[in-house]
Structure 1
């Protein structure tokens, strides 16, 4: 059966944990998420949601993640992920920016045959932390490229169903590397962080619930708007 997935790359951000450094004049950020997939049999899966946050003190912002949708193309698979974020951003000198961030989430889902007839319920709690360093380089006009490096760690606990073998692992840590593309648009600061997680130790296989579950890794891309 042929399967294809359509994701709006600028909007779909698998675990949009970190925002670029918020300036003191940027009070709010939003990162919309959207993805849709369709199987050859005409069945679909999707996700929709956002990360939102606000500056609450110099160099400190608080936020929340809300994502919902379908995990699979089959029957059931509905999920909802919610949780808070806490971040701090600082300029270290010589143009270098530090961003440190924590995310905690609870995922409620219908896992179908994996949990019998238990239906929709709490299936995972997860914590993720990361720290990154970047240095913006002006290209032209408001366009800047910020090479970014960092590290992340994530751990989770599954609830209400049994896992065996490699799926028992629910923690991993690794490095982050990539570039953040930043520019101004209609008075807002926009960025497209193309930053990949590089797993070094562990494996959080038990925390990966389905096709459009996007909670298990830090930034890999996505649209960020700050205003």
Structure 2
């Protein structure tokens, strides 16, 4: 499960050690986004806009394992991502001069410092990640940064 600025979702991933301290992770996810925007129309009336969409996401990252203390480890990572959002409605709204569509491709670089530890005999990771968009995605202003976090549990 994950929750970030893009909504809530579920992800499935595969991690593989390349050496004792270097690894690679492939991950895909499906998420649901529901956001609320408000803006003033031409008559000065406050308008609400509540778009919702599905988000398909994939990323590949390389990481290095750095032991901290006990079972705690840091995994600085760098890679690429691609995300495609499909709007559940096909409306267009103008927000403060920006055209926003509820569908579009977003791709770019991803980096972060996931923290992992053992909890009750299970491997747990908190992926602290930031993305830098190299495409317009669904907003016209570029570039943009998108921090996120979540919780990964390996059974």
Q: TM (normalized to structure 2)? A: 0.66
What value does the CA root-mean-square deviation take over the aligned residues?
A: 3.7
Matches within 5 A, 1:111-190: 114=49, 123-164=52-93, 166-168=99-101, 170-190=104-124
**Contiguous gaps of at least 5 residues in structure 1:** 1-10, 17-46, 52-64, 66-84, 116-122, 207-216
- Whether 1:89 and 2:15 are equivalent positions in the alignment is yes
Distance 2:62 2:91 in 1: 39
| Structure that is richer in strand per residue | 2
Distance 1:103 1:12 in 2: 9
Q: Tell me the number of residue pairs that the alignment of Structure 1 and Structure 2 aligns.
A: 137
Query: Are the structure 2 counterparts of residues 139 and 124 from structure 1 closer, same or farther at C-alpha, using a change threshold of 3 Å?
Result: closer
Query: Are the structure 2 counterparts of residues 92 and 187 from structure 1 closer, same or farther at C-alpha, using a change threshold of 3 Å?
Result: same
- 1:106 shift after superposition: 6.0
**Contiguous gaps of at least 5 residues in structure 2:** 38-46
Please state whether the residue corresponding to 1:197 is helix, strand or coil: strand
Contact 1:149 1:175 in 2 (8 A): yes
Distance 1:90 1:218 in 2: 26
Please state whether the residue corresponding to 1:202 is helix, strand or coil: coil
Structure scoring higher RCO (CA < 8 A, sep ≥ 6) equals: 1
- Whether 1:13 and 2:3 are equivalent positions in the alignment is yes
Q: Which runs of 4+ in 1 moved over 3 A?
A: 104-109, 111-115
- 1:166 shift after superposition: 2.4
Q: TM (normalized to structure 1)? A: 0.48
Query: Are the structure 2 counterparts of residues 142 and 105 from structure 1 closer, same or farther at C-alpha, using a change threshold of 3 Å?
Result: closer
Distance 1:179 1:135 in 2: 10
Distance 2:105 2:71 in 1: 39
Distance 1:221 1:105 in 2: 14
| Structure that is richer in helix per residue | 1
- 1:160 shift after superposition: 2.9
